[in-house]
Amino acid sequence: MFVQHKKLTYLNVGAEKIAHLHVASSNVQLAFADFPPQQCRAYLLQIAGGDKVLVVVAFYLVDSQRSIFFVPKYGEVAQDDAEQIYEEGFSFVESMGFVLTETDFHLLSLPRKQSYWSALPICQRPQERQEKPSQQGEGSGAESGSSASGDLHKLRDNSLESLGRFLASL
């Protein structure tokens, strides 16, 4: 079972530590907690370090320009168990509607790996986004209209959060 790693915002890992990398062949519309429904890209990778391997499922939210990461509930595993966990990650990503393709990343030369890896959006530090002007100016309208609008936003946000948890649990 994979769980969301809420503190991880991007992958700051050297390309030489990536043992396998699968990428979704197309985007899929998904909704995650705290984000509106939008097109997402999916990645499945193995990060190797010594005799341990960490399997990571990453989703890049195109409109929000943010990454969301899932890791196995029990974290890193021994090299011998990595293949089974990788298969579970593969099933997890494909159950959300993605079709994963092998990148042959492990066959590239180190300079090509570094170039490819550093260009992926899941490896980019998220940029701070400014709040939309329409949200900042909501309180300037009539009190009843502003209150109703705020209630609708709260209801929408709660619904999206519930949907995101539901989709993540599949």
Q: How is the chain split into domains, by residue range?
A: 2-129, 133-164
**Beta strands in 50-116, from DSSP E residues, in sequence order:** 52-61, 66-72, 77-78, 100-102
Query: In angstroms, what is the C-alpha Rg of the chain?
Result: 19
Q: What is the pLDDT of residues 10-62, one digit of tens each?
A: 999 999 999 999 999 999 999 999 999 999 999 999 999 888 999 999 999 99
CA atoms within 13 A on the CB side of 19: 15
pTM above the 0.85 mark? no
Are 114 and 17 contacting, i.e. CB atoms less than 8 angstroms apart? no
The tokens for 10 are 């991007």
Compute the distance between CA of residue 22 and CA of residue 89 in angstroms, rounded to an integer: 10
3-state secondary structure of 74: coil
Q: What is the pLDDT of residues 72-82, one digit of tens each?
A: 998 898 888 89
What share of the chain in percent tops pLDDT 70? 75
Three-point CA angle 73, 118, 57, nearest 5° = 20
